[in-house]
Amino acid sequence: MCLAISTIPIGIIGGIEGLQSSFLLIGLIFLVTFVVSIMISYLITRPIEKLTDNIIEISKGKLDVTLAPSEIHEINNLTDSLNRIMASLKLAIHKVGVKKGEIFEDEVKVTDEAINKQKDIIDNISGWAWEIDLKGNYTFCSDNISKFLGYNPEEIIGKSFFEYMIPENSKESMQIFNKAVDNKNPLNNLENWIVNKNGEKRCVRTNGVPLFDDSGNLIGYRGINTDITNEKEAEGKINELNTKLSELKTEINDLKSNRKTDVETKKSEIDTEKVEERSDKKEDEQKVDYKFIFDEDANVLACTDSMYKKLGYSKDEMLNLNITDFNALETLDDLKEKINKAKKNGNFSFKTMHKRKDGSTFLVFENFHYIKDKNAFKSIVRED
Return the percentage of the chain with pLDDT > 70, whole number. 62
Task: Give the model's confidence band at 354: pLDDT under 50 very low, under 70 low, under 90 confident, else very high.
Answer: very high
- Contact between 224 and 130 (Cβ < 8 Å): yes
Spatial separation of the C-alpha atoms in residues 32 and 308, rounded to whole Å: 139
- Contact between 141 and 133 (Cβ < 8 Å): no
Q: What is the mean pLDDT of residues 296-313?
A: 93
Residues β-bridged to residue 127: 226
The region of weakest confidence among 94-108, 146-160, 188-202, 329-343 is 94-108
Question: If DSSP codes are grouped into helix, strand and coil, which group holds residue 371?
Answer: strand
Q: How many domains does the chain have?
A: 3
Task: Provide the sign of the torsion angle of the four alpha carbons 152, 154, 155, 158, taken in this order.
Answer: positive
Q: DSSP assignment, residue 346?
A: S
Higher pLDDT, 124 or 84: 84
Residues 289 and 343 occupy one common structural domain: yes
Residue 255 covered by a domain: no
Task: Give the model's confidence band at 382: pLDDT under 50 very low, under 70 low, under 90 confident, else very high.
Answer: very high
Residues 133 and 221 occupy one common structural domain: yes
The confidence score (pLDDT) of residue 280 equals 42
Spatial separation of the C-alpha atoms in residues 68 and 58, rounded to whole Å: 14
Spatial separation of the C-alpha atoms in residues 44 and 38, rounded to whole Å: 10
Question: What distance separates the 2 farthest-apart alpha carbons in the chain?
Answer: 174
Residues 77 and 166 occupy one common structural domain: no
Residue 215 covered by a domain: yes
The region of weakest confidence among 56-65, 185-194, 223-232, 284-293 is 56-65
Higher pLDDT, 246 or 9: 246
Residues 212 and 299 occupy one common structural domain: no
The confidence score (pLDDT) of residue 97 equals 56
Q: Could you tell me the residue range of the domain that residue 142 belongs to?
A: 126-227
Residue 254 covered by a domain: no
Residue 77 covered by a domain: yes
Question: Whole-number mean pLDDT of the chain?
Answer: 77
Domain boundary among 193, 227, 261: 227
Higher pLDDT, 94 or 154: 154
Task: Provide the sign of the torsion angle of the four alpha carbons 20, 26, 28, 31, taken in this order.
Answer: negative
Contacts of 251 (CB under 8 A, 6+ apart): none
Look at residues 380, 170, 196, 228 and name the one whose alpha carbon lies nearest to residue 294.
380
Strand residue runs (E) in 70-200:
127-132, 138-141, 187-195
Q: What is the mean pLDDT of residues 26-39?
A: 67
Residue 261 covered by a domain: no
Residues 94 and 156 occupy one common structural domain: no
Residue 146 covered by a domain: yes
Spatial separation of the C-alpha atoms in residues 223 and 204, rounded to whole Å: 12
The confidence score (pLDDT) of residue 370 equals 94
For residue 129, pLDDT over 80 is answered with: yes
Amino acid in the structure at residue 163: E
The confidence score (pLDDT) of residue 380 equals 94
Residue 73 covered by a domain: yes
Spatial separation of the C-alpha atoms in residues 52 and 135, rounded to whole Å: 42
Spatial separation of the C-alpha atoms in residues 56 and 99, rounded to whole Å: 19
Residues β-bridged to residue 158: none
Amino acid in the structure at residue 240: E
Residues 138 and 211 occupy one common structural domain: yes
Residues 9 and 92 occupy one common structural domain: yes
Domain boundary among 100, 115, 147: 100
Question: If DSSP codes are grouped into helix, strand and coil, which group holds residue 288?
Answer: coil
- The CATH number linked to 163 is 3.30.450.20
Residue 260 covered by a domain: no
85-114 pLDDT, tens digit per residue, is 767 666 666 666 555 555 555 555 555 554
